[in-house]
Amino acid sequence: MNPDIVCLRDDFRLDDQPAIAASAERPALYVYVHDQSPRNGRPLGGAAKWRLYQSLKAMERRLAENGARLDVLAGPADATILALARAAGASRVLWTRRYEAAGMALDAAVKAALRERGVEGESFNGRLIREPWEFDRGDGHLPRSFSAFFRRHQSERDMPAPKPAPARLSSAPWPEGAPERAPIEALRLTTTKPDWSGELALGERPGEEGGLAALRCFVEEGLSGYASDRDLASGEATSHLSPHLRFGEVSAIRAAYVVDGVAARQRLRRDAEKFLSELGWRDFAALLLYAHPDLAAKPLRPEFERFPFREDEAAFRAWSRGETGYPIVDAGMRQLWRTGFMHNRVRLVAASFLVKHLLIDWRRGEEWFWDTLCDADPASNPMNWQWVAGSGADAAPFFRIFNPMLQAEKFDPDGAYVRRWVPELARLEAPHVHRPWNATEAALSRAGVVLGKTYPRPMVDHAAARARALAAFEEIKAEPTA
Ligand code: FAD
């Protein structure tokens, strides 16, 4: 029997994995083709590469436990898949769809080339709850605001149901004359610039089993109270599913389905609705990327092209290393650097600080997050940065400037988050931990803090930075002169 080829890519799971389910009845080749050229989508940043390595190792084990094998190849995705299909005499090649222009174009070209050779190329939605084109009502217009999008997301039809993992799989023998396989280690995914030994993905268990366990833990411990507590920086109320969703170790449909089911039984409607709306943001980001392929490069509001951003390498470095002198920003940036993760509320505050307090281009921040987040996602990352910068479709208005101290006092009320990630402030008492510059000399000395020495003084004054940002915003509001 001619084998199927299942091309795995950001969908490293067996549960609710439609491409694998479709091939489960027959021997197949389960392949991952490593191609980091921009033709195959945005090349991964350092932390995401490290996380991909973990995902591949876990998928290799998962397939082996189920009677199958993960075959890893490296090379141009299109030529490699075509060569493999030819050598295997495959009748079908199956994959999960993506929403980036470059990747979509490559997949369309592969499908056409396969068809010419009499091979069927079949793609599936294995990534989103609803795909972008489901929102086109035939007039070519996609919703531009999240609220319009989410109304339709919820109301169109019943929530799709997840498909269980196949009972057993079988791999076809590796065909003669096929491209040569490589061990996962040969992809050199873990040799990243910084020394990320130790704490990257701290507390996380990469892979499908870890992802499903995180989902179970969330519905048992985090869901009740999610709506009210999800903004607390300690992060105990949120699911920590983002890296699992990013690499497809858990499907968004499965996450929505489990949360919905538990909420109905336990009367946690408000919490579930909030969670489902967060998954909705993830789908919305994919829709925006589909509609605006240059989402990471171009502001959705064209007037922001004229924004007078500053070039300031020293300031950018201080921000990226968590040395701004604003404890909540520094805590977030250090959590990111060390673990590849940052709590959503703190992402908002830290990103806003870069764009509004330092007037540095959001695209630089987006690239930094792209390189350091384990969950770095080609749609969610630029969408959120544009939202923070005020240049997104329905972004927060630019003139709303987060006050880092008030945000910290509200979302890290006892200072535990700051103390954890900025240990030099660990002994400062609660009212001062978010504003060390207001502490008395005696309080600082009791805590062993010497401002400007053991911990930086604020690199900009909040009120002055706010006034400067608003003045910069006035400049782009004025009509450009011809
Ligand atoms: P939960 O609160 O448990 O949410 C459940 C899931 O919903 C998340 O896992 C995520 O998949 C999705 N989600 C939640 N909030 C958002 C959001 N605002 N936008 C899109 N999806 C969301 N998320 C990424 O997955 N990848 C990114 O590259 C990314 N970059 C970001 C950059 C900035 C500047 C900001 C402000 C946010 C970014 N986010 C990104 C969104 C959000 O911060 C993370 O998804 C969230 O912190 C993950 O934690 P969690 O899984 O515990 O979230």
| Residue 227 dihedral angles phi and psi, to the nearest 5° | -60, -35
Residue of 242, 271, 336 to test ligand 1 pocket, by largest number of atoms within 8 Å of CB: 242
Q: Which atom of ligand 1 is nearest to the CA of 226?
A: 2
In sequence order, what are the residues at sequence separation of 6 or more whose Cβ sits closer than 8 angstroms to the Cβ of residue 394? 144, 145, 146, 147
| Distance of alpha carbon 416 from alpha carbon 56, whole angstroms | 35
- Split at pLDDT 50, 70, 90, the class of 191 is low
pLDDT exceeds 60 at position 338: yes
Q: pLDDT tens for residues 401-444? A: 999 999 999 999 999 999 999 999 999 988 899 999 999 999 99
- Nearest-CA residue for ligand 1 atom 44 is 344
Helix axes 208-217, 252-266, angle to 10 degrees: 20
In tens, the pLDDT along 361-408 reads 999 999 999 999 999 999 999 999 999 999 987 777 888 899 999 999
How high is the pLDDT of residue 158?
73
Question: Which residues line ligand 1 at a C-beta cut-off of 6 Å?
Answer: 230, 238-242, 245-246, 278-279, 281-282, 285, 344, 347-348, 351, 369, 373, 375-377, 380-381, 384-385, 388
Q: What is the pLDDT of residue 268?
A: 86
* Cβ 177 vs Cβ 28: under 8 Å: no
Helix (H, G, I), strand (E, B) or coil at 63: helix
Closest residue by CA, ligand 1 atom 10: 242
Look up residue 52 and give its amino acid: L
Distance of CA 452 from the midpoint of ligand 1 (Å): 34
Of 409, 378, 311, 359, which is closest to residue 10 (Cα–Cα)? 378
344 CA → ligand 1 middle, Å: 6
Which of 344, 347, 356 best tests ligand 1's pocket when mutated (most atoms within 8 Å of CB)?
A: 344
- The set of residues, in sequence order, having a beta carbon less than 8 Å from that of 203 and lying 6+ positions away, is 240, 339
pTM of the model: 0.96
pLDDT in tens, 34-63: 999 999 999 999 999 999 999 999 999 999
